[in-house]
Structure 1
Amino acid sequence: MIDIDIRPAVPADAGAVLDFWKTAAEGTSISDDVAGVTRLVQRDPGALLLAESDGVLVGTVIAGWDGWRASLYRLAVHPSRRRQGLSRALLDAAEERFVALGGRRGDAMVLEANEPAHHAWAAAGYRREDHWRRWTKPLA
């Protein structure tokens, strides 16, 4: 059994989360700054879930709900804590959140080049849908 606590992030966690992602997350986002993380936490309280062990951040997942889609981003586990069930615990917490809010399906953003992540998502029951592609346009 893993010894972690999972809790929603608060605005004061933004700096620690950004530092953690530099070590544990693959890729970067246009919103990777204190203002972006704080805006997420304020707009959708409960969306950014943190896994802590003895008060130390060891994992994250963004479980965003917009009333239509249950979107998963930034599933990240500290490299020294991988393969210990942390990602599964984070996804379980995210899925519980979605079900409570009325979500019917979790959609995950997973980098194509992050092969180890593909295995983790598949082990949690997620399947790749090749008929979709992400389209983006910077707004700022």
Structure 2
Amino acid sequence: MAAMDDPSLSTRSATPADLDAVLAFWKVAAEGTSISDDGDGVARLVERDPDALILAERGGALVGTVIAGFDGWRCHLYRLAVHPDQRRRGVGASGRRGVGSTLLAAAEERFTALGGRRADAMVLDRNTSAHHAWRAAGYEPEPQWSRWVRHLTD
């Protein structure tokens, strides 16, 4: 059964006016934190690529986010976060997509329109409930790769 759209759920690109709400939302809904989880970091993202930060709203309330970054070569997914009260409310008997599935569909549509060929996602190893969601969406870990990081600021 194909997923039906949920008329109460909408997606849109974040604007600078949304940044405080997004940062507060991530404290409730996102697992872990990033060095870029501050007003300046998110503002730079929205300024540089206004369509990269996708918000899901239900009744005007923020219920989910995903960052769909495209560098001209690769498609990267970050900060897929769904409010705890909105999780696991998709598909089932209704046939409707949940918040996470709706956000991933919007991100993948963006990538396809930009010419992207493959999307990758940053998923915390310890976030096992997210592993199930990513697998259900068709994503798989690639154990031959490791993320190497160097912080550029103190």
Flag whether TM exceeds 0.5 (same fold).
yes
CA positional deviation for 1:45 = 1.3
Q: What TM-score comes out, normalization by structure 2 length?
A: 0.89
Alignment of 1:91-106 (within 5 A): 91-106=104-119
- Paired residues in the alignment total 140
Q: Deviations over 1:52-75 (max 9, x none)?
A: 011100000000001011000000
Q: Deviations over 1:53-107 (max 9, x none)?
A: 1110000000000101100000000000001211000000000000000000001
Residue type of the alignment partner of 2:152: L
Alignment of 1:122-133 (within 5 A): 122-133=135-146
% identical aligned pairs: 66
In the alignment, what sits opposite 1:71? 76
Cα distance between partner residues in 2 of 1:42 and 1:87: 24
CA positional deviation for 1:11 = 1.0
Please state if 1:118 is matched with 2:126. Answer: no
Structure 2: gaps spanning 5 or more residues: 90-97
In the alignment, what sits opposite 1:27? 32
Q: Secondary structure at the match of 1:107?
A: strand
Deviation beyond 3 Å, 4+ runs, structure 1: none
Counterpart pick for 1:108 among 103, 107, 121 = 121
Residue type of the alignment partner of 1:88: S
Structure 1: gaps spanning 5 or more residues: none
Q: Secondary structure at the match of 2:35?
A: coil
Cα distance between partner residues in 1 of 2:40 and 2:118: 29
Cα distance between partner residues in 2 of 1:135 and 1:11: 30
Q: What TM-score comes out, normalization by structure 1 length?
A: 0.98
